[in-house]
Structure 1
Amino acid sequence: MTAFMDRAEKAEQALRQLFEPTSLGRNDHLSDRFGADIFLKREDLTPVRSYKLRGAFNAISKVLAGGMADRFVCASAGNHAQGVAYVCRHFGVEGAIFMPVTTPQQKIDKTRKFGGDKVRIELTGDYFDQTLAAAQAHCREIGAHFLSPFDDADVIEGQASVAVEMLAQMETPPDIVVLPVGGGGLSAGVMSYLADAAPGVALRFVEPCGGASLAAALAAGRPVRLPKIDSFVDGAAVAQVGAETFAVLGAADPAHVYAAPEDRICATIIEMLNVEGIVLEPAGALSVDALVDMADDIRGKRVVCVTSGGNFDFERLPEVKERALRYTGLKKYFILRLPQRPGALKEFLSLLGPGDDIARFEYLKKSARNFGSVLIGIETKDADDFPHLFARMDAAGFVYQDITDDEVLAQFLI
């Protein structure tokens, strides 16, 4: 047994102070869909609904055992904050959690609930970099220990407990494990443990298209900072993987790193909610979402997908549903030049099919003569209905512009 294996297994045993192993079970829906045995390792079922509790517990435990500090500081607007808060209350130690001013109230309330009177929440900065700088300055000022969400050897070791549990829950190791990647703490921990405990297990990594920092690091041979990220997948939208995590993940095959489109992730969230009753946050859905990209590779194999978190704010559900409908082609938006004459609107409405539903109708510009510009949203039951609708509109002489995939117009109009 290697030193890392031993430490990871001890971390897994120590975690039993907080919760039992998260469940690992075969998912019939996904298995049937992909012709494989798909298992879900349900990290969305920890007490804080994400795996982040593991790394926070291991890191704080070691700091306390070594007498290095008894006060802790972190910067996070999500799962790391909640994990740190939970562990601080468990050990009865003080924690200061810095969050951006823009953090949704739901996340602030949950963090406060988990931390109780042991945690103080500081809202500062409009952007995370500002929040991080304030947290680190405060940490130095009071002589506390700063808890990184991923770029810390003890955090990585704690996250490896996911793999320890997984192997103990299976009679034989799986063929493939699919892991979400943000800063890389979970994937580095699992990769390190499996390299020693089950070297025959293949790994696949998934990051959001708008935050593909691991792919960028592998291409450059070192961690590099992305100039821009899409923050929709907030639990994994990281501009740069950690130095500690890349020391492990640098050995990954770039061909085994997948990028999941944000709109497709929305469709996966809706599918898992409607079909399986499983609530996943965007980052938590990454491993399931990427199965479609590796369908040929996984057919007939035993695959474990780590669902990393279920802290989904249901106020986001309308946006997620909207993006899912657009991705699947069931909803389109277009700007129609509508003639300003009696009967023109009725003529347009007569072109709609039985499965077409008007979800949005708004005059953008209406003059007293000639034409008016109308924003129209159409939702249908079958994506193949749209080519027929557009053909009927063309034949009737209507002039229109499909803006469904126009990011600039969609941002202002939809």
Structure 2
Amino acid sequence: MLNDYEKRIKAACAVVYDVARRTPLDAAPGLSEALNNEILLKREDLQPVFSFKLRGAYNRIAQLSEEEQARGVITASAGNHAQGVALAAQRRGIKAMIVMPKTTPRIKVQAVRKLGAEVVLHGNTYDDASAHARTLVEQTGAVYIHPYDDPDVIAGQATVAVELLEQHPERIDAVFIPVGGGGLIAGMAAWIKQHRPEIKVIGVEPDDAACLYVALEAGERITLPHIGIFADGVAVRQVGEEPFRVVRDLIDEVVLVSTDEICAAIMDIYDDTRAITEPAGALAVAGIKKYVAREGLQGACLVAVNSGANMNFDRLRHVAERAEIGEQREALLAVTIPERPGSFREFCKTIGERGITEFNYRYSDASEAHVFVGVQLNGSAEREELIAKLKGRDYPVVDMTDNEMAKIHVRYMVGGHSAAMVDHEQLYRFEFPERPGALLRFLKHMGQGWNISLFHYRNHGAAYGRVLVGIQVPPAEQGRFQAFLDEVGYPYWAEQDNPAYQLFLS
């Protein structure tokens, strides 16, 4: 088997550079220091279509006969293979039709159309699109270009490994490779194990789309009933037949990572390279971090394949919010506090000088209130310490850090209309310099004379924090309250006439 792929891969090396570039193998100094290992990044995100996929697509299309080229090509893809096929077909003057899931990020759909291919959006997953593409092949007679289950595609992807070993002839302990259908890891494993068998080849999959992991566990390919689509580039229900045949006896293991761990890896890559990878592109780095933590590894040379960078800009908001949790640098807590003047400030004093990423509170009834708070931490141990401290002060606490519904939905739904009448409520928006402890200092300025009936704060990573506060100020206290506003020294805006407040909060 390896000898057969040796010939195919060498032949692919003579073809793929018509469209592909030899991508750099970059050091990741920040990751290396943090993990106490040498971390290197194989930068396939720097390809012309921002993904390794054009290597295999072009190698396969280059093998077509003139008669097959005249019939045109069809493929199914979540985006990166689609761009590879579209570019390859454009260079060869071949008609291309690409079937893509409706869930494919807009940036990938637009990129394919710009390369001159016809796009058909069908289904919600790669498997839906693949089934429809097969139907179109029967109807049109076009040649199907499989994204991973084809020896020529696999050989094209293997050129990543050829470059890697040429670029780093020194010791490499392990190479971490993202896995969707398995074409990339099959090609790279075939080359690495033939030429440097001492190097571990480790696949990385999302824990909600682990098709290779379950296949290796079962000893046969398994079709997953459901898969997550956050890492859309690897959202595949079943590993390819040919990739599984190749890798089952070659790779060393598969590491599974969570959405939060993927988001943290995207941030790590950005910190070292100022490049933003897509979720599938950051899988390998997430796998390295998990593997190093599990093994207690130090002083090793570990390579991650950054497989793609086709990220919709609007997804960055989600990535940024989940990255801190993935790094265990943020805890999300639901805390019940007594409803009385000054209790909110006392709660903030218990949290102390820790940075606050988010605060959501709305008056509910006369006895107690529920606060949803995000707190900056230095690891899971500090989270446990904080929870224990709060419980020691008799605050009921529920840890929401690993609660998916809370992270996706509840944190944005806290608040709303108060269940009880809130007398004399005034609504103000404040800005203050953002630094640890700034929120507590703001509350200390207020004193204990007025009850806080609404509070919302989110740290946006800016120089200034923004707080929305509802305060119950009886008419007789209005003069003293105005004096507070004048003395606090922060810019403020009265918002009780804002229609958003009147419709949704008052």
In the superposition, the TM-score normalised over structure 1's length comes to 0.89
Distance in 2 (alpha carbons) for counterparts of 1:236 and 1:28: 27
SS of residue in 1 equivalent to 2:232: coil
User: Bigger radius of gyration, 1 or 2?
Assistant: 2
Higher relative contact order (CA 8 A, sep 6+): 1
Structure 1 letter corresponding to 2:265 = T
State the match for 1:163 in structure 2.
Answer: 161
Equivalent-residue separation in structure 2 for 1:246 and 1:204 (angstroms): 14
Whether the 8 Å contact between 2:26 and 2:41 is mirrored in structure 1 is: yes
Deviation at 1:297, TM superposition (A): 8.1
- State whether residues 69 and 145 of structure 1, in contact with CA within 8 Å, keep that contact through their aligned partners in structure 2: no
Give the match's secondary structure for 1:349.
helix
Q: 1:222, 1:336 → 2: CA distance?
A: 47
Aligned to 2:347: 348
Contact 1:38 1:305 in 2 (8 A): yes
Preserved CA contact (<8 Å) 1:332 1:378 = yes
Q: Distance in 2 between matches of 1:189 and 1:89?
A: 25
- Does the residue aligned with 2:26 lie in a helix, a strand or coil? strand
How many pairs does the alignment contain? 407
CA distance change for structure 1 residues 390 and 7 in 2, over 3 Å: closer, same or farther?
closer
1:247 aligns with one of 235, 245, 248: 245
In structure 2, list runs of 5 or more residues that go unmatched.
Answer: 412-506
Map 1:282-361 → 2, pairs under 5 A: 282-295=279-292, 296=295, 299-357=298-356, 359-361=358-360
| C-alpha contact 2:223 2:238 (8 A) present in aligned 1 | yes
Which of 237, 252, 256 aligns to 2:253? It is 256
**Contact 1:340–1:370, Cα closer than 8 Å, also in 2:** yes
Contact 1:181 1:187 in 2 (8 A): yes
Matched, 1:79 2:80: yes
Q: What amino acid is aligned across from residue 265 of structure 1 in structure 2? A: I
Deviation at 1:166, TM superposition (A): 2.1
* Structure 2 residue aligned with 1:413: 410
Cα distance in 2 for partners of 1:334, 1:304 equals: 36
Shift of 1:170: 3.4
Structure 1 residue 78: Cα displacement: 1.9
Q: Cα deviations across residues 324-369 of structure 1 (Å, max 9, x unaligned)? A: 2123333232333343333333333343312332513143x723x3
Q: Does the 8 A contact of 1:173 with 1:198 survive in 2?
A: no
Which of 186, 189, 193 is 1:188 aligned to? 186
Q: Distance between the aligned counterparts of 1:262 and 1:249, measured in 2? A: 25
Match of 2:223 in 1: 225
1:109 is aligned to 110
Question: Does structure 2 retain, via aligned residues, the 8 Å contact 1:267–1:324?
Answer: yes
Mapped pair 1:380 → 2:376: yes
Alpha-carbon distance in 2 for matches of 1:171, 1:11 = 21
SS in structure 1 opposite 2:354? coil
Distance change in 2, residues 1:11/1:65 (3 Å): farther
Residues 32, 39 of structure 2: 8 Å contact kept: yes
Conserved in 2, the CA contact under 8 Å of 1:353 and 1:389? no
Q: Is 1:8 aligned to residue 17 of structure 2?
A: no
Describe the SS at the equivalent of 2:205.
strand
- Partner of 2:83, secondary structure, is helix
Q: What secondary structure sits across from 1:63 in the alignment?
A: coil
Of 161-170 and 294-303, the range deviating more from structure 2:
294-303
- Relative to structure 1, is the Cα distance of residues 26 and 410 closer, same or farther in structure 2, using a 3 angstrom cutoff? closer
Gaps of 5+ in 1: none
Please report the TM-score for the alignment, with normalisation by the length of structure 2: 0.74
Report the Cα distance in structure 2 between the residues aligned to 1:112 and 1:154, rounded to whole angstroms. 25
Residue 389 (structure 1) shift:
4.5
1:54 maps to which residue?
A: 55
Match of 1:401 among 394, 398, 402: 398
Q: Deviations over 1:294-340 (max 9, x none)?
A: 43586444433222112222311221122121233332323333433
Q: How much has 1:392 moved relative to structure 2?
A: 4.8
Indicate conservation of the 8 Å contact 1:280/1:310, yes or no.
yes
Query: Which deviates further from its counterpart, 189-198 or 150-159?
Result: 189-198
Moved more, 216-225 or 320-329: 320-329
- Is the aligned partner of 1:129 residue 2:130? no
Deviation of the 1:227 alpha carbon: 2.3
Residues 164, 193 of structure 1: 8 Å contact kept? yes
Cα distance between partner residues in 1 of 2:328 and 2:195: 44
Whole-Å Cα distance in 1 between the matches of residues 52 and 95 of structure 2? 22
Contact 1:78 1:107 in 2 (8 A): yes
Identity of aligned residues (%): 35
The worse-fitting range, judged by mean Cα deviation, of 147-156 and 273-282 is 273-282
2:88 alignment partner AA: V
